[in-house]
Amino acid sequence: MSTSTSKSPAKTIDARGLFCPEPVFRTKIEMERLAIGDMLKVVSDDPESEEDISRWVKRSGHELLSLNKSQKDLEFIIKKAK
C-alpha cells in the first residue's frame, strides 16, 4: 500500500453509519461501475470495515492504494484492476 495517489478518485462513497455487510456491498457495486484503472474512495465508521473491505479488495483482485484512519473514520482508496 502506498500513501500517495497521482490522480483523484473517480467516485466517493460515504458509508458512515452503515454496518457490515453494507459498506462492502456498496463498494462492490461502485467498483463494477468504474473503468479499469479508476479509483474509488470509501469512507466508513464501521470498525469491521477495515478487515472486511481489505479482504474483499484482495479477493476480488483490485488494489488497495491506501487506508487512512482517523479517530472515527476509515478512508480507503481502491484502484480497479479488472
Q: Which residues are catalytic?
A: 20
Note whether 39 and 6 are within 8 A (CB). Answer: no
